Amino acid sequence: MGLFSPWFLAGLAALGLPVYVHLLRRHTSTPRPVSSLMFFERGTQSSVRHRRLRYLLLFALRALLVLLLVLAFAQPFLKRSAAAASDRLMVIAVDDSFSMRAGTRLADAKQEALKVLGTRRSTQRAQIVVLTDQMQVLTQPIADAAALQAAVAGIEPSDTHGNFGGLGRGMRALAEAAPTLIDLHVFSDMQTSNMPGNFAEMVLPGKVSLRPHPVVSAPLPNWTVESVRTSAQVVDPKKSQVLAVVTGYGTPAASRTASLVMEGKTVATKRVDVPANGRANVVFDSLDVPYGSSRCAVRLDSADGFPADDESLFAVQRADPERVLFVHAATDTRSPLYFGTALASAAQRSFVLQPINVEQTAEIDPSRYAFVVLSDVATLPQLFENKLRRFVEGGGSVLIAAGASDASAQRLPVVGQRVGDGHFFARGGAGFASAGAMDASHPAVASTDGLAETKFFYASSLQLPSDGSHTRVLARLADSSPLLVEQSIGQGHALIFASGFDNVTNDLPLQPAFVPFVDRLAQYLAGVGQVSGAKLVGSFVPLRSLSGSAAGQSHGSPVEVMGPGGSRPLSLAQEATAQSFSLTRAGFYQVRFANGRDALIAANPDRRESDLQLIPAETLRLWSGSGAPDASANEAAGATADAAQPGSTYGLWWWVMLVLLIAALAESIVASGYLGTPREHA
């Protein structure tokens, strides 16, 4: 109980008023008419009897009136905590990440969760959630025991990475919406790798009491195929290598057998010596796969309690080198020479350059090529430009080198990009410019640090759209002017290089970085990166260009996605409009993109799940909120929550006023009986 205005309690001093009225008031006698005093004897009468309390019931009622009046102005209230107002919410969080496939971990976690559900009162509400990278809600807060048990029993193991940071974020959101205290029960193997980089992400709010339920008591030694590196596209099998990394977590030094598997058949095996709790590489010298897409894997002989991570999947595509159309001016002989030599010098030699000059483009169909390069071309024949535009809008790619000739045209073909006056750095006295910032996250410029050594003698001034729509700057010069820009056009895209591919506008063709730079550009423009054997479960695969969707061109160009086991992860409506989709399960995904290209994508679980080391007990107690046992931690969390929130408040002012009115009526009746005018008798 509390008081909203406790200072009004000073009015309790007025309780002395009834005492004064009943005890200290002057005693008066009623005069009586007498004919003579001669017969009365003089005497002294004591006043002690008159100083005693009279009319005790009336005194009590008057004192109660004053007390109730003071109490009414002090505004009393009853405070009931949220936990008292309704039952505490029980949240059952079951970890279904990839590591829970080891042994009987998930089954044990579900069994323990059902036991905890059986201890709740029949009216207490509970909620079931699962832990992956984010907290996923399976049920709303309900008291239906059958529905709660069915939700727990229906939890299946996933291939995702667990993250207690996602649990912390989810519980903070739930605590803001829930009016009650929350008892959180976490059933997990409590991997150290599930902890986020910042401990603050997994800290729970004060009204949440954490009760961890580890399903294992000791870490499990485990070997795994951590990663596989190979080319996504194979042209010459004899020159294609597969590099696999075998890792041991909490393991002794041992010799393991690694196998190369193609379409379910083992084609090669090698022994690999793995040091204690360390890594070792194993190399398969050739990848002789048939033409088309192939499902491959590197498999480790199972010698631990977690065989689910002893295999790493990857997909490769065997094809002949694709043709690349290189359009250049008739007088330009340097650009096709340097660009073609760089393509031929790439490790896989996946492309063959077909150079033609502008006058030879009339009968050319761009759709027959992997991508098109326009090298310092000021204008194109209108017929060929229209064909090339439709090719790009349908999902093709074009690389435009804006050399010195494009500056006079004021407009780049196909993309319509405005070009201002170019900058000849030699004329300005600087001699040359160098490359500046690069977007290393983009696959077209990843691992091209050698561009910093390139000297640019000339660069076109690319005028970017003011709103930046469908445009992304991938590289800049040292003066911040754009050097490499990507522009989306329909379902395709164009890369615009502000300089040329000769050794006149820059010395890039003479630099060692030119071959990997051209190879990166070609791989990206041809879409080879869409086929990969190293994608993780939970990553997203782009299906179509954002600009194509904005222009309404995604409709009528559906994609087809076939997941592991013949499943269809997207509905028909999603296949017609979705910009991307998530790899939710481990396995192979067959995708036909909106531009007509096919891809086979392999998805593997995050190998952080293979490290089965446990969270230290001290860290687990810190996460629980204190170093005390669970019961004490729960009481501390409950006290903190009571102090943090007002709970339910019930004002007693009206009840006090009602009692005051009743007491006033009673006082009036009693006072009328005691203090009424005496009746005279004859």
Tens of pLDDT, residues 279-321: 999 999 888 888 888 999 999 997 888 999 999 999 988 888 8
Q: Are 354 and 324 in contact (CB under 8 A)?
A: yes
* pTM exceeds cut of 0.75: no
Taking only the tens place, the pLDDT of each residue in 321-364 is 889 999 998 888 899 999 999 988 876 677 899 999 999 998 89
- Show the tokens assigned to 244: 């696999």
pLDDT at 65: 79
Beta strands (DSSP E) in 301-332 are 311-318, 322-328
Measure the CA–CA gap between 251 and 277, rounded to whole angstroms.
5
Of 83, 175, 63, 29, the closest CA to residue 670 belongs to 63
Taking only the tens place, the pLDDT of each residue in 413-434 is 888 777 777 777 766 556 788 8
Measure the CA–CA gap between 430 and 432, rounded to whole angstroms.
6
CA distances from 337 to 99, 341, 397, 646 (A): 53, 6, 21, 78
CA distances from 643 to 392, 527, 649 (A): 64, 59, 14
Higher pLDDT, 409 or 562: 562
The pLDDT-based confidence of 100 (bands split at 50, 70, 90) is very high
pLDDT at 550: 40
Task: Indicate if 222-318 has the same CATH topology as 84-219+619-644.
Answer: no
Which option is the CATH number for 322-529: 3.40.50.880, 3.40.630.40, 3.40.50.80, 3.40.390.10? 3.40.50.880
Beta strands (DSSP E) in 358-489 are 371-375, 397-401, 418-424, 435-438, 458-463, 471-477, 482-489
CA 586 to chain centre: 20
The pLDDT-based confidence of 553 (bands split at 50, 70, 90) is very low
Measure the CA–CA gap between 295 and 508, rounded to whole angstroms.
38
Question: In CATH, what class is 84-219+619-644?
Answer: alpha beta
Higher pLDDT, 502 or 636: 502
The pLDDT-based confidence of 214 (bands split at 50, 70, 90) is very high
pLDDT at 562: 93
pLDDT at 230: 87
**Average model confidence (pLDDT) for the chain?**
82
Measure the CA–CA gap between 564 and 587, rounded to whole angstroms.
5
Q: Are 451 and 420 in contact (CB under 8 A)?
A: no
- Show the tokens assigned to 284: 């398969």
DSSP code, position 367: G
Of 508, 297, 298, the closest CA to residue 401 belongs to 508
Q: Are 403 and 376 in contact (CB under 8 A)?
A: yes
Helical spans, DSSP H, in 261-420: 334-345, 382-393, 406-409
Most confident among 276-280, 527-531, 636-640 (mean pLDDT): 276-280
CATH domain 222-318 topology: Immunoglobulin-like (2.60.40)
Taking only the tens place, the pLDDT of each residue in 179-212 is 889 999 999 999 999 999 888 899 998 889 999 9
- Mean pLDDT of the region 499-527: 88
- Ordered by start, the domain boundaries in the chain are 1-24+52-72+656-682, 84-219+619-644, 222-318, 322-529, 531-607
